[in-house]
Structure 1
């Protein structure tokens, strides 16, 4: 089997397990077993479980940004484009079982001593925020709020609504966020 496909299978399996079960609750042995690979193949691609987490989260954020670009590509109206940032999250939550934000879940599963992992998660979260800021600054929205204030509002509403999504297993809070953004933009 190609090395790249083994790596992708490990990332797919670990990503699913980290997202569904949490980082601490997922062991290397379970990942290896469910990926159907040899232990040596795991360590060939990743030096540790934390290295696998970093690779999974990096891929998650990259895929999120690419997916958002595709989702927003046909939306021209500024108000609809900004609301589309939340609608994209609604679509993802429906597709992924209403489990909330992968970055928040990963961060919550870390030990206090995992400072480097927490720092990396913060950097990834900032990449997502920067993406939202770029969409807003290019949207052509009426300047009732500054781009920075609107970015803060969208990010904070989305993050808060994602908590509700994970707790209640529905997207009503995200849908309310769309209504609020649409009313304020």
Structure 2
């Protein structure tokens, strides 16, 4: 095996782990498999990440960063808070239509990592809290009669429930239905 520079090895490991953990599941994929897929030694994997748990944390942080970038890009073209909220539903539909969709990587990780003190759980909490906070900020800007926190919570339930059902049904129907409900809950522009 050709030597790989340290920074290159970390990027290769993270890329391989992201594909494998999402496709096959965190518990089903060992570090040997990740290293082989990345084309690096197991030593290089441990040099860059220290442990499988820390690699899982890095995988989820990277997904969170990419998701935040997607939401920022998708919602930037929408002037009104209402349209920004509905654009998040559109982003979920786009996301679930991608090849190999297996649901929410964050919820999948939570189901695979039952220890409440697992470090990846904090990344999941951060991800979901950030999304709910974004929705709440948009709802506050709408000036609805309903408390913003309550409506943001309802929107999160719609999004998360629809994403789970999209896995079961292998289609966009649940997310489209959730978007329609959200559209009805939001005051007209």
Fold conserved (TM > 0.5)? yes
Residue 45 of structure 2 is aligned with which of 42, 45, 48? 42
What is the CA–CA distance in structure 2 between the aligned matches of 1:172 and 1:5, rounded to whole Å?
41
What is the CA–CA distance in structure 1 between the aligned matches of 2:5 and 2:18, rounded to whole Å?
20
Q: Which residue of 1 aligns with 2:154?
A: 153
CA contact (8 A) 1:93 1:171 kept: yes
Question: Alpha-carbon deviations, 1:57-76, whole Å to 9, x = none?
Answer: 11111111111000111112
What is the CA–CA distance in structure 2 between the aligned matches of 1:117 and 1:20, rounded to whole Å?
18
CA drift at 1:114: 5.1
Residue 68 of structure 2 is aligned with which of 65, 69, 93? 65
What is the CA–CA distance in structure 2 between the aligned matches of 1:63 and 1:153, rounded to whole Å?
24
What is the CA–CA distance in structure 2 between the aligned matches of 1:75 and 1:113, rounded to whole Å?
38
What is the CA–CA distance in structure 1 between the aligned matches of 2:145 and 2:88, rounded to whole Å?
18
Q: What do you get for the CA RMSD once the two structures are aligned? A: 1.9
Q: Which residue of 1 aligns with 2:168?
A: 167
Q: Does 1:177 align with 2:178?
A: yes
What is the CA–CA distance in structure 2 between the aligned matches of 1:69 and 1:18, rounded to whole Å?
25
Paired residues in the alignment total 183
1:134–1:10 distance in 2 versus 1, CA, 3 Å: farther
1:1-185 alignment, distance < 5 Å: 1-95=4-98, 97-112=100-115, 115-137=118-140, 140-185=141-186
CA drift at 1:2: 4.2
CA drift at 1:118: 2.7
Which segments of 5 or more consecutive residues in structure 2 lack a partner in the other structure? none
Deviates more, 1:170-179 or 1:78-87: 78-87
1:97–1:144 distance in 2 versus 1, CA, 3 Å: farther
Question: Alpha-carbon deviations, 1:31-70, whole Å to 9, x = none?
Answer: 1111111112101101111100001111111111111000
Higher relative contact order (CA 8 A, sep 6+): 1
TM-score by length of 1: 0.89
1:171–1:38 distance in 2 versus 1, CA, 3 Å: same
What is the CA–CA distance in structure 2 between the aligned matches of 1:19 and 1:177, rounded to whole Å?
24
**Helix, strand or coil for the counterpart of 1:95?**
coil
CA drift at 1:124: 3.1
